[in-house]
Amino acid sequence: MAALELPADRVDLWYTRVEPWEPEESRRRFWGWLDERERATWERYRPPARKHLYLIAHALVRRVLSLYGDSIEPSEWQFAVAPGGKPEVVGPGGFAVRFNLSHTNGLAAVGVTRWRRLGVDVEAGKAPETMLALARRFFAASEVAELEGYPAAEASQIALEVWTLKEAFMKGVGLGMALSPRRFAFDVRAGRPWRLVATGLDSEQAEGWTFATALLGGVRLAVAVEGRLAEPLLVRQLGPANWDVAGNLGGWSDPPHG
């Protein structure tokens, strides 16, 4: 299979379903792709389901990167952890690409781009009371006030979408949970396409980001991308077994929300 093109003005998103089991042959192959740091992290997980999810998610990153890197095997990718804790590609040399990974029970997703900063987050649904309590604790005051204007069930779904957007943005700027989600706010009342309306960040960090969300089989996904996209966000699925391209969901500038 020829390497896929990744123009500088495009972001591709890949996801795979994480089944509770995987053929032994596949698991051995995926384990062989991981580096020493990844294997050490895998060893620290105790519940078998968490170990399995970690293995599949990190194998997914390597498999996806190799779709773009001509003749680069999944095991050849080298990573370093930036000061904010975000992994970056440092090898093989001569191939510029950025990525961001997120996973939850049943699904893993990775976004790839040439130069842009980006963040990806996936979150499984939560009970309305749980989601609303999380919003009251971690959202900006303006977001909480706007959520209170909706019935509880609808408010909880909106809150889940906003939470994934916040996580994606915090990862995208490279700060993760070091950036308080209360320091910036989305326009909850206006909704999609999502935009920041209030921020305690400097302009370099906060301006010019594009946001998109989708609902993938009950899992909420959000992407935060630095700059404006000249091409729609491309979302693809990797199938099980050999992880060939199983489906192309088309180009979405603001993906369907379900």
- What local confidence, expressed as pLDDT, does residue 248 receive? 43
* β-bridge mates for residue 248, sequence order: 236
Count helices and strands (H / E) in the chain.
Answer: 7, 12
Give the up-direction half-sphere exposure of residue 166: CA atoms within 13 A in the CB hemisphere. 27
Please give the Cα distance from 181 to 167 (Å, whole number): 8
- What local confidence, expressed as pLDDT, does residue 183 receive? 92
Residue 172: both structure tokens together: 């995208």
Residue 236: both structure tokens together: 């693809």
CB-based contact 222:230 (threshold 8 Å): no
CB-based contact 252:213 (threshold 8 Å): no
CB-based contact 169:119 (threshold 8 Å): yes
Q: What is the pLDDT along the chain (258 residues), one digit of tens a residue?
A: 678 999 888 899 999 999 887 788 888 999 999 999 999 999 999 899 999 999 999 999 999 999 998 889 999 999 999 887 889 999 998 788 999 999 999 999 999 999 899 999 999 989 999 999 999 999 999 999 999 999 999 999 999 999 999 999 999 998 887 889 999 999 999 888 899 987 887 776 777 899 999 888 889 999 999 998 877 788 888 875 556 554 443 333 333 333
What predicted TM-score, i.e. pTM, was given to this entire model?
A: 0.90
C-alpha closest to that of 13 among 71, 106, 85, 99:
99
The total of other beta-carbon atoms located within 10 Å of residue 125's CB is 15
> Dihedral (C-alpha) 34, 57, 139, 158: value to the nearest 10 degrees?
170
Please give the Cα distance from 67 to 88 (Å, whole number): 17
CB-based contacts of 1: which residues, under 8 Å, 6+ apart? 67
CB-based contacts of 89: which residues, under 8 Å, 6+ apart? 65, 77, 78, 79, 95, 97, 98, 99
- What local confidence, expressed as pLDDT, does residue 171 receive? 94
User: Rounded to the nearest 5°, which phi and psi values hold at 217?
Assistant: 55, 40
